[in-house]
Structure 1
């Protein structure tokens, strides 16, 4: 993988280029960075001409990216899509505390402290939602809930182990989007694949799921 720069609509963009055994050029934007894969032997001039052909769409995706957090003093973090300012008060204790719309962090390892807090907040929220679903809808025992960091998915259902796993990054999103992911994974206990029956089960419980699903796809993990 090599890094190059290209001028798109007067804006200098850095992109990562990887040559692979493939037939066509592929482009994707992840976390505000452009990644390009091209067949071995493709001239750089042709690759950049292809990028320029799709520059309007690519620039829109690149410029739309905003990090969910900046883990530094006077940085910020989004929790349930609400922005909280980070205030560092380093006294050597790995602890965080809310003060209105500020989060006071009492250790210099800001990210570790905040992620620990967010993990618990998200776990409690998901647990509460699942308990409600099981009480009024699903005929299931309470599954084991895990919170992990994933690169490209929001959740997973391990129905044979009676376990559900969720991406820590969900903490940054609106609760409506989180609720969809929770429902999605629970329905896998009824339908273990993504068949028409699976989405029928989703629609019975969340009729507007397609609109929510579309919004979720616009978010980065």
Structure 2
């Protein structure tokens, strides 16, 4: 990780070099990520970041962390913020007490991540069942929850499988529903044509409003 001064403040950035024709940069998780060709010097990278500093600083400042996995930290679950309390014992359990989640374990992050993954899977299974019954003439596909760096879900028609980003647990349920409908509609239309979005809006007229809340979160 390197640091650069933008608008009078120091900001971290990651630089990775690869075989590519031009440089690109984005903000993920509140940190700038730069991809540059091997021949581009660091001075050119930093000149590029300074040229577009307004955009990068705005994206960083607007970033809202969705969790802080440590004792006394927090996590958003279905859009609601919970405090986290770490209790060191061998039960490997998570207990909900009002606006607080008590994590009983020696391995704090492993157990809270497992808890959130199961909670998201249960919701996805129930809501997909609902939409398949009321809005689609399809069979229930296989559901997989996993971490992704750059997508919220994927549809695999031939395998009858849908995968969802484990980060969805942090968002309002209507945001999650927008991803469910998006992926299920790919069983009807494989691309992102007007025909595809016609199927999406038919089932969720306010899709754009909810799906937009995912922008910049990865």
| TM-score, normalisation: structure 2 | 0.92
| Alignment partners' CA distance in 1, 2:16 and 2:152 | 26
Partner of 2:54, secondary structure, is helix
| Alignment partners' CA distance in 1, 2:166 and 2:99 | 21
What's the C-alpha RMSD, in Å, of the aligned pairs?
1.7
How far apart are 1:193 and its partner, in Å?
2.1
- Greater Cα offset, 43-52 or 153-162: 43-52
Evaluate the alpha carbon distance shift between residue 205 and residue 115 of structure 1 in structure 2; reply closer, same or farther with a 3 A threshold. same
| Alignment partners' CA distance in 2, 1:77 and 1:154 | 19
| Alignment partners' CA distance in 1, 2:42 and 2:109 | 39
In structure 1, runs of 5+ residues without a counterpart are none
How far apart are 1:155 and its partner, in Å?
1.0
| Structure with the larger RCO, 1 or 2 (CA within 8 Å, 6+ apart) | 2
In structure 1, the partner of 2:78 is: 80
- Greater Cα offset, 169-178 or 151-160: 151-160
**Aligned 8 A contact 2:88 2:105 in 1:** yes
Cα offsets for 1:32-70 (capped at 9, x unmatched): 211223344434333322211111110111222233211
2:47 to 26, 46, 49: 49
| TM-score, normalisation: structure 1 | 0.90
| Alignment partners' CA distance in 1, 2:11 and 2:76 | 26
1:107 and 2:105 are equivalent in the alignment? yes
Tell me how many residue pairs correspond in the alignment: 218
